[in-house]
Amino acid sequence: MQTFPTSAQVIYDTLAADATFLGYLGSYDFKTGQGPIAALSVVSPGEDMPSLRNVAGIECIIQDTGETQPQDYLTDSPYMVTTWNLFLIAWEPAKGDNLQIAAEHVMSRFAGAQSVQTVAATDGLGALVQTKVLIKSNMPIL
């Protein structure tokens, strides 16, 4: 039976159980005694993207847009499809190669996923490299 990324939480759970993918991520350290946790998070609909975080390695943010689009597959029945935005961010340019490998790994797990942009920017505190992957809810998890 195939599983589909019907919510941002399903994508999160899939990636959180993927040891290969987690190996590319840095960690959040909240200094609360709970220790570092993998830099993987979900942004809820309407919530602003988080600001710069001190993450050594790669951060993965799954954006839950809460928006669906109709898709007509040449039938009488339209399907409502959500496209999830998955941002992979490397706060150090030296991690750019690992970021691309991590993006390719994500695309190998989600059928039809596409990497849509890669940007390099300087925010005054250092350079970052970012890739956005689009994951459609009507394409199966591999």
Whole-angstrom distance, CA of residue 26 vs CA of residue 49: 18
pTM: 0.84
Contact 87, 130 (CB under 8 A): yes
pLDDT tier at 71 (50, 70, 90 boundaries)? low
For position 123, what pLDDT does the model report?
Answer: 60
Q: Can you say whether residue 69 is alpha, beta or left, with left for phi > 0 and alpha for psi between -120 and 50 degrees? A: beta
Tokens representing residue 114 in the block: 């596409």
For position 86, what pLDDT does the model report?
Answer: 95
Which range has the top average pLDDT, 27-31, 93-97, 131-135? 131-135
Tokens representing residue 35 in the block: 């220790």
Domains annotated for the chain, with CATH where assigned, are 8-136 (3.30.2000)
For position 74, what pLDDT does the model report?
Answer: 59
On the question of pLDDT at 121 being above 90, the answer is: no
Tell me phi and psi for residue 76, to 5 degrees: -85, -5
Higher pLDDT pick, 125 / 44: 44
Residue 29, Cβ density class (10 Å: 0-12 exposed, 13-18 middle, ≥19 buried): middle
For position 77, what pLDDT does the model report?
Answer: 53
Higher pLDDT pick, 68 / 99: 99
Alpha-carbon separation of residue 64 from 68, 77, 96, 137 (angstroms): 11, 25, 25, 12
The contacts of residue 67 (CB under 8 Å, 6+ apart) are: 45, 82, 83
Strand, coil or helix: 142: coil
Higher pLDDT pick, 112 / 45: 112
Map tokens 């390099």 to a residue: 120
For position 40, what pLDDT does the model report?
Answer: 92
On the question of pLDDT at 33 being above 80, the answer is: no
Tokens representing residue 17 in the block: 């159980």
On the question of pLDDT at 47 being above 90, the answer is: no
